[in-house]
Amino acid sequence: MSEKLTKLKDVAKQLAKAEILTEALPYLRQYAGCTVVVKYGGSAMGDDDLAQSFAEDIVLLKHVGVNPVVVHGGGPQIGEMLQRLGIETEFVDGLRKTTKEIVDVVEMVLAGRINKQIVTSIQSAGGKAVGLSGKDDCLIEAKKLRRSRRDPGSNIEHVLDLGFVGEPSHINPEILYGLIESDIIPVISPIGIGPKGETYNINADTVAGAIASSMQASRLFLLTDVPGVLDVDGNMITELNLTETKQLIKDGVINGGMIPKVETCVNSVKEGVDAAVIVDGRQKKSILIDMFTDKGFGTLFKKSS
């Protein structure tokens, strides 16, 4: 009886796997040959188990005919290195003031250690990957980020000097197309190059959105440390159009650090990306669940109907 029960359980497992493949088939057809840009960072990048799972998922996407492009962050690792080197750092409105000394460390950590770790993980999972920074082949042309702050007492607006903090001015994706045609997964660190050859530190979400827009990607995924956008009761909102998103920001439902992530999603959709998704990177297989099942995962942003 025990042996028969074991066989029945094995059959049930195999049937469940077959059902999953059947459910995924329409989505595999839909996304075949499409480009997907994934911003990778947060807890997903800091946990070895999650990092391995992420690499396996990216390789799986490539093997089923999807073209993944990975853009990674590395704020905590930069902070750790600056502390080890005894270099003081300051944040203004959530952005790290970046001196020439600090931007050299940022480039070393992002384009060096972190980028190569991700490349190695993808290759260990059976894929082919090449690490790039935005300076390679002038992939990310950048300009100095301009921010201002209004003094509540005098009502005078002050321009903030954040040093070598930049934003993309133009993306040249030709090198990415070449790698994709060679079945290679690009892994990009968010370092940009200025008009005089300056090195700029750029927010990874912003870079991922700009690259997704330039490539007219089918999906932009922002991996975060939250399930997605939450409503006033703390429940996750599974889908938003641009009109609804604007109203939620106005009402203060979307606030704080979620606003720039949401704005990245909105801007990318406005500029031609089919849809953008804020996904919980702490959950294994979150990208695969969102793309290849009926359930979806995270908060999906699409154009207003």
pLDDT digits (tens, 9 = 90+) for 128-153: 999 999 999 999 999 999 876 666 66
**How many degrees, rounded to 5, is the angle at CA 50 between CA 44 and CA 53?**
125
What residue spans define the domains of the chain? 33-84+99-133+185-191+203-302
Q: What pLDDT is recorded for position 32?
A: 85
How much is the average pLDDT of 300-305? 79
pLDDT digits (tens, 9 = 90+) for 243-287: 888 889 888 888 878 888 999 999 999 999 999 999 998 988 889
3-state secondary structure of 183: coil
Q: What pLDDT is recorded for position 147?
A: 75
User: For the whole model, what pTM was predicted?
Assistant: 0.88
Q: Which CATH architecture has domain 33-84+99-133+185-191+203-302?
A: 3-Layer(aba) Sandwich (3.40)
Q: Over 70: is that where the pLDDT of 59 sits?
A: yes
pLDDT digits (tens, 9 = 90+) for 39-58: 998 777 878 899 999 999 99
Percent of the chain at pLDDT > 70 equals 87
At 232, is the pLDDT very low, low, confident or very high (cuts 50, 70, 90)? confident
3-state secondary structure of 65: coil
Mean pLDDT of the chain: 87
How much is the average pLDDT of 289-301? 84
pLDDT digits (tens, 9 = 90+) for 103-130: 999 999 999 999 999 999 999 999 999 9
H helices within the chain, ranges in order?
Answer: 2-31, 43-46, 48-63, 75-84, 100-107, 115-124, 174-181, 204-214, 242-250, 258-270, 286-292
Residue 85 phi/psi, 5-degree rounding, is -85, -5
